[in-house]
Chain A
Amino acid sequence: MAITDEPGWTLRVARPESDAPPDAEAGDADLVRACLDGQRAAFDALVRRHQRQVYQLCHRFVGSHEEASDLAQDAFVRAYRGLRGYRGNAAFSTWLYRIAVNVCLNRVAARAPRLVPLDRVERLDSGAERPDTALLREERAAAVRRAIAQLPKRQRATLILRIYHELPHDQIAAILGSSVGSAKGNLFHALANLKRLLQGPS
């Protein structure tokens, strides 16, 4: 496209490439807008920025790499489809977490929790830890994982978001669509249940 204002001068207006990499410093809201304007690379940037948190959130729910990958992908695809529904009232990460939590809750509601046998627990990088200490630690971690898998859905979601993602209570409340008091109450009961489950039958 060329616009000529004066003889001898030609102004060329270049349309931005739809796959041009977005500015690395661009905020989430800017990337969302760019994505809605047709820049697919902007969504790719959003994925790369948030994929670790979303994957780890999903992994906390299902405890398996393959399932967590599938759920995280599902969450991003749903986010992409519903991108016009993001109004910017909350942080993009809060909106994305809400989608991911819903995807995970739907999945765990559809089947019994997957319990990993102790002999199949992935070995952790225990550094200079003594083998017996590392084993005890792994066993305890597996017990925690099993106990969390038995918590009611909302308690589990609250505990995961608070303890493992260190989100503030108000953000957890926004993700779960509840009040801050309710989010705190959920976490309180989740911890009480977790304690009971870790102690085993008395």
Chain B
Amino acid sequence: MSHLSPPQLLDAAEGVTVQADRSRRHLAACGRCQADVDALRVTLAEARIEPPAEPSPLFWDHFADRVGAAVRDETPEARAGAWWHGRPTAAWAAALLIGLASATITWRTTLHAPAPGRVAAAHAAVAAPATGVAATGEGSTDHAWGAVRDAVDELRWDDVQAAGMIGGGIAERAAAELSAEERAELARLIATEMTQGGA
């Protein structure tokens, strides 16, 4: 015989009137389930013996004032929760840029400096006019930023903003610390990635 499940036993103990006929019939016939329901009822009644805490009536005004004072200098935050919550595109975009910046720095410090010819080629490759997030204004005279702008053109502005990359985000700070040659190499890497990705 299949006994009642915990939710069914609980419903019976709490006196939920709408029970499936099958549950009701089982309960009437099963001594074990009926004993479980009775035990739940006794424990529920025992738990209810504890009355709610009721402080002095004067407490409530005092409490409301306390909370008012605590939030006086606060303003509701622009957005609750983690910025990447429900925004996988933004998370991936941030991760991609951080990864590319890290790879460039690692490449520069551990392996070899870029050959002059390759740097010149990269400069030539990124000489196209910039669009998209150029509104930041920073580095507008540096052609190497052109490829970075092209790369992030694919991103939705909202996602980039949500990712915190505007106005001092991690990726932007990392990129800002690069030299002109490093930026050029970053641009080359992004261009390579985009070519490989079929972009």
Contacts and interface: CB of A to CB of B under 8 A. Distances in A.
A60 B54 CA distance: 11
B7 A188 contact: yes
Interface string B35-77: 0000110111011111111010001100110111011101011
B78 A84 contact: yes
Contacts of B116: none
B79 A84 contact: yes
Contact of A188 (B10, B42, B67, B81): B10
Contact of B49 (A44, A84, A144): A144
B47 A144 contact: yes
B60 A48 contact: yes
Contacts of A181: 7
Interface stretch (A3-11, A67-75, A105-113): A67-75
Given A144-B50, A163-B44, A189 B6 contact: yes
Nearest to A199: B43
Contacts of A141: 49-51
A69 B63 contact: yes
Given A137-B49, A191-B40, A194-B43, A73 B7 contact: no
A interface, by DSSP: helix, strand, loop or mixed? helix
Interface residues of B, number: 36
Contacts of B59: 69
A145 B50 contact: yes
Interface string A27-54: 0000000011000100110011001100
A5 B66 CA distance: 47
Nearest to B65: A44
B187 interface: no
A72 B62 CA distance: 13
A156 to B, nearest CB: 11
Interface string B1-44: 00000110111000000000000000000000000000110111
A47 B51 contact: no
A97 interface: no
B74 A140 contact: no
A164 B6 CA distance: 20
Given A68-B53, A185-B6, A188-B9, A35 B64 contact: no
B74 A44 contact: no
Contacts of B70: 73, 76-77
A112 B77 CA distance: 33
B135 interface: no
Given A76-B67, A137-B49, A82 B77 contact: yes
Contact of B53 (A47, A55, A80, A188): A55
B53 A56 contact: yes
B80 interface: yes
A85 B63 CA distance: 24
A65 B55 contact: yes
Across the A-B interface, give the 7 residue pairs with the lowest CB-CB distance, nearest first. A85-B80, A188-B6, A184-B7, A59-B53, A82-B80, A83-B76, A195-B43
Interface of A: 35-36, 40, 43-44, 47-48, 51-52, 55-56, 59-60, 65, 68-69, 72-73, 76-77, 80-86, 124, 137, 140-141, 144-145, 148, 159, 163-164, 181, 184-185, 187-189, 191-192, 194-195, 198
Given A73-B66, A84-B77, A144-B50, 17 more contacts: A44-B68, A48-B64, A51-B67, A59-B52, A60-B53, A65-B55, A69-B63, A73-B67, A80-B74, A80-B76, A84-B78, A140-B49, A163-B48, A164-B50, A188-B40, A198-B43, A198-B46
7 contacts: A47-B67, A55-B63, A59-B53, A60-B53, A65-B53, A65-B55, A191-B47
